[in-house]
Structure 1
Amino acid sequence: MTRARNALIDLSATPYYHLIARCVRRAFLCGEDKYSGKNFDHRREWLVERMKLLSSVFAIEIAAYAIMSNHYHIVVKVNKQTALDWSDDDVIKRWYQLYNGDSLVDRYISGEVFDDATMTFFNEIVSKWRLRLYDISWYMKNLNEFIAKEANKEDNCTGKYWEGRYKSQALLDERALLSCMAYVDLNPIRANMANTLEESDFTSIQERLLHFKAQIKGSKKAQLNPSQNIPQKDEPAHISQPTELKPFAGEYIAGTIPFSLLDYFELVDWSGRHVHPKKTGYISHSIPRVLVTLNIEETVWLEQVQSFRRQYANFAGSKHALSRQAAKNDVKWYKGAG
């Protein structure tokens, strides 16, 4: 049964969401179409560039992404309080990066002094824009409409490009966040489109890994394990992370993903070597440190990163978190709780 979007996006429950959109036409979002012989890989660049531009405008950060042949995944964090803390001028500047704005706001920008009645109308406009700038639906609207227009122009056609509205999953706890991010980053590995994380084109794990390796090149403080080809040891404090992705920084550090970057690299690499349909070579017999910390069984974890989308519906998390959210929304249960 279709549910209203405001029943699926509950920022009081969690700021993290897994978003998926799929093409409706046979023509590929990206990759090579065996029927037409055309290659659409450049559309992946459109998507990545657009989602990053939107995240610089909206109070919505990208935690993970994967651009596949006819669909894409994004894991985002909504920073509602950040948007509420913006000044009116901040809101206007951001909104004007995407839209023409409003004539009344143009007068404000030019320095006109408003009377009380006019100021009330002005405040209503800015408040509406502020709400939209941390609204996932407005983020996805801007992303999907832009790609649809560009693809239709290139295909010399009109009509629907996306398969209905986007799908969303609320990630109710740290375990759901971590497993969903790994699920998203491992999409090309599971689909046998890539053999290694570095070969997983247009994924956040590839971007993070290549950025890290560029940072540590020539450094003696961090090395690569030749059998795993992932960074080893704790990352040096001065090593930066991609500025357009939400950073990892370990536990209890505000504004970051609550896990170590190197622990995440280890976890995703280890998981990929188990789930790849034709993977050969070294597989560590030691369980990644994150799984030990979160007390997650190896088999349970591997099942989650292979079938996360099927295990849960619109809400993902522990049985306790799902039961609590179901009670809050006055429903009997959510998929994954039973």
Structure 2
Amino acid sequence: MLDFNIGCNTIGYNMRIGFMVNDAFGIGDGMESERNLEDPNEEARGFYQNSEEATHPLCEGSLHSALSVAVRLMSIKSDWNVAQAAMDSMVSLLGKLVNPELNIPQNFYQAKKLVSKLGLSYSRIDCCINGCMLFYKNDAELENCKFYGHARYKRTPGGKMVSIKAMHYLPLIPRLKRLYASMSSTPHMKWHHENKRPPGVLSHPLDGEAWKHFDRTYPDFVSELRNVRLGLCADGFTPFSNSGTPYSCWPIFITPYNLPSEMCMTCPYIFLSCIIPSPRNPKSLIDVYLQPLIDDNYNYGMKV
């Protein structure tokens, strides 16, 4: 994981940028021959090409790349809550002060576009104000709740129509693909099959009766050892309790249970999946907000 502290030294920071790209796309010292045992598909080739282009040094001997500059700019904007117009002004001034031949972003949009090549995307999905439905898939064009008629949009003082409530969904599939693209995680994705404990020993979810019942129920899924099993976690609320603390948003996390215990519950492998905005606990309506995640799992044959 990257540490975007403003005071970090340049050399260490750029080394971590390189580690991030190498780990995300499975390229690095000593790994090239292993990665090339099987030709990547078209999507993977695009990932490799974009990451290699983005990490070219700005000039000979430079410790910075266009990617490291873009990531640092986005980090500064996030850490200090800088307005986008202010960022554009600062980046514009930076471009006038340095060599114009250096390939640095000319504005915040270009910086964001460059970082997006790594596939760190998200979807913004409008919701009913009461959380009873998402304006999603077949309902994406509706302007009112199909159950109770609540409006989807409101008009701002400037006359612009904006959605009243929207959630953010961070696609899970690209992050799971990276588990098989990175040489540091690929060997561990079959750990759950290769490290079963004797009866009576419980050290991982695979040793529990629920896991064994699942194996008996879905033998076709179990036959492919690389299939991903996921655990779903929520922070700050429980679906059927009134004890949730009031927050402005509610996060949903996913972790792959294929990995050993010392990995699957650590920060790099706990994936933020959904951010649900509301001052109220989602409680039993949580299934409404999980629709995009459930669809991803259904389409790719994974089990939660």
Which interval holds the TM-score relative to the shorter structure? under 0.3
TM-score, normalised relative to structure 2: 0.22
TM-score, normalised relative to structure 1: 0.21
- Which structure has the higher relative contact order (CA within 8 Å, separation 6+)? 1
